[in-house]
Structure 1
């Protein structure tokens, strides 16, 4: 079966694709992905026709065999007179049909199903991962992940089931009509009426099914997002003893999702009942018409056997198709729910042919910056700040003054409404975001570690670093005191120990040391310390401050700290309040001025 690998390479799920938002309209959204695999889908469409046709031929053989048996004078002459006919039937049943089925299954399973799903997920992930920070703040991370997984699967299912079921119902219905007309025109009347009423049923029920499936999918996504958010914040839930409250909220969302699902299935139950009545009338009318025609010697017994077997087959198949169609519309509802997330325009984009940032000196300039998260609540109004090459600047101010926001603007996690930010004379909006952030090392207030090993977390700073280089930065941050003694639940030790989701298996101080070690390894020309030592005890802070001073040598540094003792040795302190620079100078000068900084300093000395 290893030879099937050849077919599995026909679709490359990681092929190059335009880095653009998919269309917002449903059909165009589908075509955005389908056109990338149109050749395999077209071949599946063709092979599906022959597979459906061969199924009909089998039922025709039943009637032919009955007529052949009745036509021979003696059973001993059966094979002698009809040898070639039986050999051809045997070839179709034993050879041709299995081959066609194999080709169909290879196209379905090896070529399209898995790779097409991965292609959609890969492209959707690549598009979403470049969304702005605000996008991820505005949506449940669990909801986004759920939609990436479910939307791709729903696109695949709805397309493949449509191709597969469409041929079965079209071929079965049309060939049945044609073959019945050949036998006798009256035999085709029940099936023609059945087709008309079957189409009317679809026309009435399917739009309603699509609408209800969309509502059900939307409710399911809300429930999924809430559950993931609950699990992600399980410590907060336990610390505040809100299990009962959380259960009530989950109960409400799950009740709504259940009601929406039942609202959808009620329609399906009604449809199934209507279809059962229609199919029963088809079987009964075909039996009556067949017997009347046979009684008047207008058709043979073989024709009756063929007609009844085909009608029963059509009865079973129509019920299956209706369930498939309901499933297709459920998938379409899931796709509709995901489109809003998948097609959201990016708020922050690289300019076409943007240059890579070059940082020979590290001079930073904020010019006439205006920024607001909400239009009626401006954070900055015409803020100006210049940071010289190699200068160590501390941003100081009350909580909510906008210190971290200024860092986010420098990193271009948000864009200014007006004004410009430049590094060595290069406007950060004219360079790629990857090169911008690649030249800035950040130790953030909220330490974030990936759910992987200590080594992999630190290598985020420099993927080509050796274990010796890792050992050096661990020693600089005193993290070596605990890292090499770590053992996780899988038995991994030291650098190979898994830290858990967001580093949950480490203490706050330990997580912060790993984060600092990661930035040390990155060794970027611009360094940002946003409450870099906030989670450390005084002794560890003193040790790390010594190494941070070594790290800061030759770099442009912006530091934020509420504990003013940690930044008093910086070259310059910039005091920000109400979105403006209100004071600037050394620690000694600002204390002597008796302004805002002096007040903040005195408060911390008490």
Structure 2
């Protein structure tokens, strides 16, 4: 079973090596084309898993209502078949969806996707001239080939995950809140506006810092690898202290980008936590208020 999914995609696509496009979306699509059908199918399965989890939350709310309003003697006679259906979805349906989604994600995509990028980029780099390599560090070139493949996979996977989260989880939450009490949708709308604003502020900054960090990492790796590659020349003719300072200069430049990125990551994490805390507090307060005025049930509050 694992082998079948691992061989769904050829990680070494044939064809004449081409120069990758310069635009961001075109560049990502160029390396993603062999796995594009699997990415679409994986996203659909992820959406189905998310929808099943949202449905489970709805079932929990209904279960609270059943338990609070039913008599013990006739509970299973009245709700037994519903409980059986709920159990079948949770115990059988959801694990099967997760199994198929995980096989596509981890066996078919996660390993093959970046290898496709490495293979295409490596073939392209082999076609470069001698003059190109005379002006470049071999370590930096190899590092960029390796990093680019992983960066494309992480970008696409996180983007697809974010879209599924917004469409399914947020849409499901809006639906459940709207059914229980339309006013409960207001905090979610405010949360969405705040979330978009936070992403609008932080994502461009993180993207710029990540690009600078990738260049700094490639420069640092290039200097270190080239030092080892030319160790005989360095031992015979170079000054060890000067070589150390040369490598340290690249390391310090890399650390500058690391500190900038981590500062943004901390601010982003705190901002999202604060936004989520305000959402939970406002929804809980409005739900309790609606229950106090007998507008919603205990099950709706549990959801």
TM score, norm. by length of structure 1: 0.49
- The answer (yes or no) to whether the contact 1:49–1:171 under 8 Å persists in 2 is yes
The equivalent position to 1:188 in structure 2, one of 169, 174, 185, is 185
- The answer (yes or no) to whether the contact 2:139–2:218 under 8 Å persists in 1 is no
- The answer (yes or no) to whether the contact 2:49–2:94 under 8 Å persists in 1 is yes
How far has the Cα of 1:87 moved from its partner? 0.7
Higher helix share: 2
The separation in 1 between residues aligned to 2:75 and 2:240, in whole angstroms, is 78
The equivalent position to 2:239 in structure 1, one of 236, 239, 242, is 242
Residue 172 of structure 1 corresponds to 169
Residue 220 of structure 2 corresponds to 223
How far has the Cα of 1:8 moved from its partner? 1.8
Higher relative contact order (CA 8 A, sep 6+): 2
Residue 161 of structure 1 corresponds to 158
**TM alignment of 1:475-514, pairs within 5 A:** none
The separation in 2 between residues aligned to 1:138 and 1:207, in whole angstroms, is 31
The separation in 1 between residues aligned to 2:237 and 2:16, in whole angstroms, is 47
How far has the Cα of 1:18 moved from its partner? 3.5
- 1:131-167 C-alpha deviation (Å, 9 max, x unpaired): 1111111111111111121111111121122222320
Provide the aligned length of Structure 1 versus Structure 2: 303
Residue 452 of structure 1 corresponds to none
TM score, norm. by length of structure 2: 0.96
- 1:373-422 C-alpha deviation (Å, 9 max, x unpaired): xxxxxxxxxxxxxxxxxxxxxxxxxxxxxxxxxxxxxxxxxxxxxxxxxx
The equivalent position to 1:199 in structure 2, one of 191, 196, 199, is 196
The separation in 2 between residues aligned to 1:33 and 1:240, in whole angstroms, is 43
CA pair 17-71 structure 1, distance change in 2 beyond 3 A: farther
Gaps of 5+ in 2: none
Deviates more, 1:54-63 or 1:181-190: 54-63
The separation in 2 between residues aligned to 1:224 and 1:115, in whole angstroms, is 25
The equivalent position to 1:142 in structure 2, one of 139, 162, 177, is 139
**TM alignment of 1:360-509, pairs within 5 A:** none
The separation in 1 between residues aligned to 2:301 and 2:236, in whole angstroms, is 75
CA pair 246-203 structure 1, distance change in 2 beyond 3 A: same
The separation in 1 between residues aligned to 2:112 and 2:104, in whole angstroms, is 11
Residue 84 of structure 2 corresponds to 87
CA pair 50-170 structure 1, distance change in 2 beyond 3 A: same
The separation in 2 between residues aligned to 1:65 and 1:119, in whole angstroms, is 48
How far has the Cα of 1:176 moved from its partner? 0.7
Residue 257 of structure 2 corresponds to 260
- The answer (yes or no) to whether the contact 1:17–1:123 under 8 Å persists in 2 is no
- The answer (yes or no) to whether the contact 1:12–1:115 under 8 Å persists in 2 is yes
The separation in 2 between residues aligned to 1:63 and 1:299, in whole angstroms, is 11
Q: 1:102 and 2:104 equivalent?
A: no
The separation in 1 between residues aligned to 2:88 and 2:301, in whole angstroms, is 25
Residue 288 of structure 1 corresponds to 285
Across the aligned residues of Structure 1 and Structure 2, the Cα RMSD in angstroms comes to 1.4
Larger radius of gyration: 1
How far has the Cα of 1:45 moved from its partner? 1.8
- The answer (yes or no) to whether the contact 2:184–2:283 under 8 Å persists in 1 is yes
The separation in 1 between residues aligned to 2:80 and 2:210, in whole angstroms, is 54
What SS does the aligned partner of 2:110 have?
Answer: helix
The separation in 2 between residues aligned to 1:233 and 1:91, in whole angstroms, is 64
Residue 298 of structure 1 corresponds to 295
The equivalent position to 1:64 in structure 2, one of 62, 83, 107, is 62
Q: 1:210 and 2:207 equivalent?
A: yes
Residue 48 of structure 2 corresponds to 50
How far has the Cα of 1:241 moved from its partner? 6.0
Residue 7 of structure 1 corresponds to 5
The separation in 2 between residues aligned to 1:8 and 1:238, in whole angstroms, is 46
How far has the Cα of 1:280 moved from its partner? 1.4
- The answer (yes or no) to whether the contact 1:48–1:163 under 8 Å persists in 2 is no
Higher strand share: 1
**TM alignment of 1:300-339, pairs within 5 A:** 300-306=297-303
The separation in 1 between residues aligned to 2:91 and 2:145, in whole angstroms, is 43
How far has the Cα of 1:95 moved from its partner? 0.6
The equivalent position to 1:40 in structure 2, one of 38, 41, 50, is 38
How far has the Cα of 1:276 moved from its partner? 1.9
- The answer (yes or no) to whether the contact 1:44–1:104 under 8 Å persists in 2 is yes
How far has the Cα of 1:237 moved from its partner? 2.5
**TM alignment of 1:341-356, pairs within 5 A:** none
Residue 127 of structure 2 corresponds to 130
Residue 76 of structure 1 corresponds to 73
The separation in 2 between residues aligned to 1:21 and 1:295, in whole angstroms, is 65
